């Protein structure tokens, strides 16, 4: 990854450290469904060859802060709410932090755009006492939302080290694989008749990160033209696993479900119900 690094005003004496800070920090994230919402987990790795000591100090980690726009016009692009990628203040239910860190949403009350911010704390005050040494990874950073939002895994991150060194980059998705999904319908065959017959669905789903991917009934189609009343009790775009179908001779119904994990990876699977004469 190519990160952009910059400094606070007046920190020009740290200029020789630019090369060491560039490409040094890696932030990975993934989402899981939990407690009726989606929890986003983050890890921060220091890939820098910088030797241990003050050069490894990490005092602030922010998710959603847009990178520098490169303008040197006297404005501070790092704290312009218009540049923030997230809208967390309308959806964040809780945040968790590793020992010695405190998490909160950061932004202004006048604007809807906020970011996720973790800071090292000492007696309730921000401090620069935490050293994320070369090769080390910090975990335990998480935020839970009521609903999924892709920006939590697609936005920029912002890390402050050495009290004034700023490192920017794009979050990497740790989870890029869709769930494994299979669908079974009972019954899978029907005798032709005039009355609607009940069908139940059995779903098997596994995911490498998310223990409870979101299941949705995507569609019910047939090899014949469907008429009003041929399908009853099916609520699409929900986890609906029971409905009724009209057993018309020669008809094959194809029922499709999807499974989406907390990182947004989606899989689909289908099963059929065949109507015999």
Q: Sort strands 197-206 and 180-186 into parallel, antiparallel or unpaired.
A: antiparallel
Query: Residue 89 CB: number of other CB atoms within 10 A?
Result: 16
Position 275 scores a pLDDT of 98
- Nearest alpha-carbon partner for 134 in 57, 203, 191: 57
> CB neighbours of 153 closer than 8 A, spacing ≥ 6?
29, 30, 31, 40, 171, 173, 263, 264
**Mean of the per-residue pLDDT values of the chain:** 80
Percent of the chain with pLDDT over 70: 71
**pLDDT tens by residue, 99-139:** 888 888 876 555 556 788 888 866 555 555 577 778 889 99
Inform me whether the pLDDT recorded for 246 exceeds 90: yes
167: left (phi over 0), alpha (psi -120 to 50) or beta: beta
The residues that bridge with 199 in the sheet, in sequence order, are 243
- Full set of structural domains in the chain with CATH: 5-173 (2.60.40.2230), 180-276 (2.60.40.1080)
Residue 94, pLDDT > 50, answer: yes
**Of 13-27, 83-97, 126-140, 236-250, which one has max mean pLDDT?**
236-250
Give the integer Cα–Cα distance in Å for 128 and 120. 7
List pLDDT tens digits, range 30-80: 999 988 899 999 999 988 765 444 545 677 888 876 655 444 344 544 444
**Alpha-carbon torsion, ordered 9, 15, 134, 64, to 10 deg:** 40
- Kindly report the backbone phi and psi dihedral angles of residue 6, in degrees, each rounded to the nearest multiple of 5, phi listed first: -150, -175
User: What does residue 123 show for φ and ψ, rounded to 5 degrees?
Assistant: 55, 40
Phi, psi of 4 (to 5 degrees): -100, 130
Sign of the dihedral through C-alpha 215, 219, 220, 222: negative
Judge contact between 215 and 183, C-beta under 8 A.
Answer: no
In this model, does residue 222 exceed pLDDT 60?
Answer: yes
pLDDT digits (tens, 9 = 90+) for 142-165: 999 888 888 889 888 888 776 667
pLDDT tens-digit series, residues 206-220 = 999 999 999 999 999
Cβ-based neighbour number of residue 217 at 10 Å: 20
Residues in the chain: 277
Helices (H), the chain: 18-21, 151-154
Give the burial class of 53: count Cβ atoms within 10 A of its Cβ; 0-12 exposed, 13-18 middle, 19 or more buried. Answer: exposed
**pLDDT above 90 covers what percent of the chain?**
49
Q: Are 97 and 141 in contact (CB under 8 A)?
A: yes
Separation CA 48–CA 56 (nearest Å): 9
Look at the pTM and tell me if it is higher than 0.75.
yes
Cα separation of 68 and 63, whole Å? 14
Q: Which of 39, 74, 80 is nearest to 209 (CA)?
A: 39
């Amino acid at each position: 990854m190519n990160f952009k690094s910059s400094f606070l005003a007046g920190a020009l004496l740290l200029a020789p450290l630019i090369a060491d800070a560039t490409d040094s920090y890696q932030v990975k994230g993934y989402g899981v469904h939990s407690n009726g919402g989606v929890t986003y987990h983050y890890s921060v790795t220091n890939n820098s060859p910088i030797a241990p000591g003050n050069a490894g100090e990490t005092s602030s980690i922010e998710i959603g802060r847009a990178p520098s726009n490169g303008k040197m016009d006297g404005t501070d692009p790092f704290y312009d709410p218009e540049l923030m990628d997230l809208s967390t203040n309308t959806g964040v239910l809780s945040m968790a932090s590793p020992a010695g860190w405190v998490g909160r949403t950061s932004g202004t009350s006048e604007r809807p755009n906020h970011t996720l911010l973790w800071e090292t704390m000492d007696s309730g005050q921000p401090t620069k006492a935490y050293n994320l040494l070369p090769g080390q990874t910090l975990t335990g950073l998480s935020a839970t939302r009521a609903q999924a939002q892709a920006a939590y895994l697609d936005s920029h991150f912002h890390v402050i080290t050495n009290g004034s060194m700023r490192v920017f980059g794009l979050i990497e998705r740790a989870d890029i694989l869709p769930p494994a999904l299979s669908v079974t319908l009972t019954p899978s065959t029907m005798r032709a008749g005039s009355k609607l017959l009940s069908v139940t669905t059995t779903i098997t789903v596994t995911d490498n990160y998310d223990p409870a991917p979101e299941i949705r009934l995507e569609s019910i189609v047939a090899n014949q033209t469907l008429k009003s009343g041929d399908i009853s009790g099916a609520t699409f775009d929900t986890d609906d696993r029971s409905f009724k179908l009209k057993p018309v001779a020669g008809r094959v119904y194809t029922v499709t479900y999807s499974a989406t994990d907390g990182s947004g990876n989606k899989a689909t699977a289908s099963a059929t119900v065949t109507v015999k004469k």
